[in-house]
Amino acid sequence: MSSQNIYILAIESSCDDTAAAVMHNGKILSNVVASQKIHEEYGGVVPELASRAHQQNIVPVVDQALKKAHIDKSQLNAIAFTRGPGLMGSLLVGTSFAKSLAYGLDIPLIDVHHMQAHILAHFIEEADFVKPSFPFLAMTISGGHTQIVKVSSYFDMDVIGETIDDAVGEAFDKSGKILGLGYPAGPEIDRRAQLGNPKAFQFTKPKVDGLNFSFSGLKTAILYFIQKKVKANPNFIAENLNDICASIQYTIIGILIDKLKLASKQTGIHHIAIGGGVSANSGIRQALKNGEQKFGWTTYIPKFEYTTDNAAMIAIVGYLKFLEGNYAEQNVMASARLKI
Ligand code: KG4
Ligand code: ZN
């Protein structure tokens, strides 16, 4: 087989998005995501509903990915899937599907770590995008994770800082809930923040030593602040929503950038990448770009569609592992708490 002609089908089902992508030699041919709307009315992801929706979505999503890529499944060289971390019921749907397909087609099965995929998404072949050079620091910011990772090579990654409580995406989502916004609130806070004054209200940043993060105190501070203001003026939220969103976002970005500055200083590494759902945030993208001038960083910001959960990022890891001949056995098990 020519190493120049490799087709990977990737499946991602770790949380509430059912996704499939087809990659050819590191380039994305199709990237399909079915987002589950059912969770909005509950204000968060309901695991049992998520796995049921994955079961309904997975066949049409995979079909669509193959159709959009204009390839037949007989052309595939391997099936990559998210093994973990994530919700067990959701992971099981993607894992079982990937195993059966790989078995049926008699091609290799490749297990992928979801958070490594958020980082390695930077290595998808894209015109006008420069790939990070090793070593670099990657800050993974999502609804389930907040980590700073030292990346020495594709599969040599060390977590050098992480949250001790809530993830940064949860800080956005929980703040949104306090303000009566829908789930997930991150994108809405981002949209409103661009219309508001970031210095309108001050929230104290948590004091956590070293490179670790904490967001639960900030959420409580926001809750008490809002309760106090609403008591004095029942229309406080409606009258100040954009300013409140801008101030919350400004505080969260400040926390993230402070830790990145410290990580860069401690490691002497100035190449910095971000990944995960929160890296879609316009404020963090701008703050990172500003770091190039301010702190001499070289920054890597993913294409928008590779930030929130997607299968393109699973495909690139599948491709890189395929090149190394690093395959999974048929008895590989989904793992909700897989470590990097
Ligand atoms: O990576 P992701 O899609 O799923 C997880 O693995 O968690 O991240 C989802 C998280 C949610 O918390 C959502 O509110 C947040 O990413 N998010 C944002 C933005 N877009 C998505 N947070 C802030 N600003 C955004 N533009
Ligand atoms: Zn994710």
Q: What is the pLDDT of residues 73-113, one digit of tens each?
A: 999 999 999 999 999 999 999 999 999 999 999 999 999 99
What 3-state DSSP class applies to 10?
Answer: strand
Residue nearest to atom 20 of ligand 1 (CA): 187
Instruction: Give the distance, in angstroms, between the CA of residue 317 and the centroid of all CA atoms in the same chain.
Output: 14
State the closest ligand 1 atom to the C-alpha of 168, by its place in the atom list counted from 1.
12
Ligand 1 contact, 166 CB (< 6 A)? no
The model's pTM is 0.94
**Residues 158, 164, 166, 168, CA torsion sign:** negative
Nearest-5° Cα angle at 307, 302 to 313? 85
CA distance readout (Å), 154 to 157, 315, 335? 8, 14, 21
pLDDT at 1 over 70: no
Peptide bond into 108 cis (omega under 30): no
Q: What pLDDT sits at residue 236?
A: 98
Residue nearest to atom 7 of ligand 1 (CA): 143
122-176 confidence digits (pLDDT tens): 999 999 899 999 999 999 999 989 999 999 999 999 999 999 999 999 999 999 9
- For residues 255 and 206, the answer to whether their CB atoms sit within 8 Å is yes
**Residues 36, 86, 278, 8, CA torsion sign:** negative
Cα(211)–Cα(73) distance, rounded to whole angstroms?
45
Q: What strands lie across the sheet with 109-113, from one edge to the other? A: 27-35, 17-24, 7-12, 78-84, 109-113
Of 12, 160, 157, 176, give the one whose Cα is nearest residue 81: 12
Q: Half-sphere exposure of residue 199, counting CA atoms within 13 Å on the CB side?
A: 0
Q: What pLDDT sits at residue 3?
A: 55
Ligand 2 centre distance from Cα of residue 161 (Å): 17
Residue nearest to atom 16 of ligand 1 (CA): 277
- For residues 27 and 19, the answer to whether their CB atoms sit within 8 Å is no
Q: What pLDDT sits at residue 85?
A: 95
pLDDT at 2 over 70: no
Ligand 1 contact, 277 CB (< 6 A)? yes
Ligand 2 centre distance from Cα of residue 303 (Å): 14
Q: Which of 142, 168, 175 to mutate to test the pocket of ligand 1 (most atoms within 8 A of CB)?
A: 142
Ligand 1 contact, 245 CB (< 6 A)? no
Ligand 1 contact, 172 CB (< 6 A)? yes
Cα(95)–Cα(111) distance, rounded to whole angstroms?
9
Ligand 1 contact, 15 CB (< 6 A)? yes
